[in-house]
């Protein structure tokens, strides 16, 4: 049973790990292969700051809220394990700032210690009159992806630096199941007009005195188009760009100025911070995550595809819930092919 995972970002690698963990003992012939045109540190996941935080509203998409919760709870459980440091996992508290009162988010009871900001706290952020404080998690892509890669390598999963041009290409080589975790480039494998880039740009600075994330919101401009500051273990990420439909991965001087000026206004001490890097990436934005099975038939070639892409700016936030869901879909495929008597795994 050959399974090919397309994509080596957080979605591809975690889905691969989830499937291997759950099924390798049950399906002796299971062979996993990861195909990607980019590996860490050159994936979209590597550029993300790594803060666990869903968007403000789930738009009634309860499934995604559950996957977010599953991810948070899973990571929280890993916090005290010896692997946490290597995974790039740690607790981080911080602020969400608004210019007007907003309803509490779907994730208020998922994070730790969620509360509204006090008037004294709001004094720190002139121009913002409302906000939240909570403790969440950081999962740094630049550490998590190598950690996932190591776990997969230990398990005998093979990696191929290759741009897959079609699902058929893999089926014709004898692959039975494809996991499509191709993120922003999923459209190359199968057209999907709903998948659009949400271009972001970030500035990396040295500002080790910043111990909180600060995310501002401009409800008119939309998510991530207002300044944010997220301290990591090595550097602090300054951001605040979200450009729907912009495919450019080049750093823009105009965006740099916008990020720098707005973040320094938010945190005057940043003026003294040393800039150590800059990066642009394309959030794989979609009205909802595409996580579903598809049977592909072309001539005498047939295969199963599990799509798992379109996680926008919340890939790290939702990844484990989606990986588990993808694993369940894989389990049902195995059941149908009579590889398994009953699907394994916890019953929900």
Partner 1 sequence: MASPKVAVVGAGVIGLSTALCITETCPSCSVTVLSDQFSPNTTSDVAAGMLIPHTYPDTPIHRQKQWFKETFSYLFAISNSAEASEAGIHLVSGWQVFKSPPKEELPFWSDIVLGFRPMSEAELQKFPQHRFGQAFTTLKCDCPPYLLWLEKRLKATGTQMYIRKVADLWELHGEYDIVVNCAGMGAQQLAGDKQLFPVRGQVLKVHAPWVKLFIRDGDGLTYIYPGIHRVTLGGIREKGSWSLSPDAGTTRDIFDRCCSLEPSLQGAQDIEVKVGLRPSRLCVRVQREVLSQGGLKLPVVHNYGHGAGGFSVHRGTANEAAHLVRECISALQGSSSRAKL
Considering the complex, what minimum distance in angstroms separates the CB of residue 91 from partner 1?
Answer: 6
- Is residue 228 marked as binding? yes
113 binds partner 1 (CB under 8 A): yes
Q: Which of 121, 56, 48, 63 is nearest to 279 (CA)?
A: 48
Rounded Cα–Cα distance for residues 71 and 318 (Å): 6
Considering the complex, what minimum distance in angstroms separates the CB of residue 95 from partner 1?
Answer: 10
268 binds partner 1 (CB under 8 A): yes
Q: What is the DSSP letter of 342?
A: S
- Count, residues near partner 1 per rule CB under 8 A: 38
Q: Which of 76, 69, 109, 115 is nearest to 317 (CA)?
A: 69
- Is residue 315 marked as binding? yes
- Of these, 231, 281, 321, 343, which contacts partner 1 (CB under 8 A)? 231
Considering the complex, what minimum distance in angstroms separates the CB of residue 13 from partner 1?
Answer: 21
Considering the complex, what minimum distance in angstroms separates the CB of residue 104 from partner 1?
Answer: 15
Q: Which of 134, 225, 179, 126 is nearest to 20 (CA)?
A: 179
115 binds partner 1 (CB under 8 A): yes
- Is residue 225 marked as binding? no
Interface positions, 183-222, toward partner 1 (CB under 8 A) = 207-212
Give the DSSP per-residue string, 167-224.
HHHHHTTT--EEEE--GGGHHHHS--TT-EEEEEEEEEEE-TT--EEEEE--TTT-TT
User: Cis before residue 140, ω within 30 degrees of 0?
Assistant: no
- Is residue 45 marked as binding? yes
Instruction: Considering the complex, state which of residue 120 and residue 347 has its C-beta at the smaller distance from partner 1.
Output: 120
Considering the complex, what minimum distance in angstroms separates the CB of residue 138 from partner 1?
Answer: 8
- Determine contact, residues 316/4, Cβ cutoff 8 Å: no
79 binds partner 1 (CB under 8 A): yes
Rounded Cα–Cα distance for residues 80 and 283 (Å): 30
- Cite the annotated binding site by residue number: 44-45, 49-51, 53, 164, 217, 228, 283, 312-317
- Name the site residues for partner 1 (rule: CB under 8 A): 79-82, 84-86, 88, 90-93, 112-113, 115, 117-118, 120-121, 123-124, 133, 135, 138, 207-212, 231, 233-234, 268-269, 271-273
């Amino acid at each position: 049973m050959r399974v090919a995972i397309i994509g080596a970002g957080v979605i591809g690698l975690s889905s691969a790990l989830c499937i291997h963990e759950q099924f390798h003992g049950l399906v002796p012939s299971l062979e996993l292969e990861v195909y990607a045109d980019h590996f860490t540190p050159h994936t979209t996941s590597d550029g993300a700051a790594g803060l666990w935080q869903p968007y403000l509203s789930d738009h009634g998409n309860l499934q995604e809220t559950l996957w977010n919760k599953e991810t948070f709870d899973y990571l929280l459980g890993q916090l005290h394990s010896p692997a946490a440091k290597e995974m790039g996992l740690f607790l981080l508290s911080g602020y969400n700032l608004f210019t007007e009162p907003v309803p509490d988010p779907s994730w208020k009871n998922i994070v730790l210690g969620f509360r509204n900001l006090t008037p004294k706290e709001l004094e720190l952020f002139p121009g913002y009159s409302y906000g939240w404080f909570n403790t969440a998690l950081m999962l740094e892509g630049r550490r998590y992806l190598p950690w996932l890669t190591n776990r997969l390598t230990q398990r005998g999963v093979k990696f191929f630096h290759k741009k897959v041009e079609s699902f058929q290409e893999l089926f014709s080589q004898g692959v039975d199941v494809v996991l499509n975790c191709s993120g922003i480039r999923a459209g190359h494998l199968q057209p999907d007009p709903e998948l659009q880039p949400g271009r972001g740009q970030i500035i990396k600075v040295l500002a080790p005195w910043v111990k909180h994330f600060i995310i501002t919101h401009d409800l008119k401009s939309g998510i991530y188009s207002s300044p944010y500051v997220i301290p990591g273990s090595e550097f602090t990420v300054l951001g605040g760009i979200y450009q729907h439909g912009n495919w450019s991965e080049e750093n823009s001087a105009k965006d740099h100025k916008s990020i720098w000026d707005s973040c320094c206004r938010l945190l005057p001490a940043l003026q003294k911070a040393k800039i150590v890097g800059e990066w642009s990436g394309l959030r794989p934005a979609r009205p909802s995550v595409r996580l579903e099975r598809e049977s592909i038939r072309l001539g005498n070639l047939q295969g199963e595809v599990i799509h798992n892409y379109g996680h926008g700016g919340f890939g790290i936030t939702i990844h484990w819930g989606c990986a588990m869901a993808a694993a369940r879909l894989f389990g049902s495929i195995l059941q149908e092919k009579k590889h398994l008597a009953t699907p394994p795994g916890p019953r929900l």
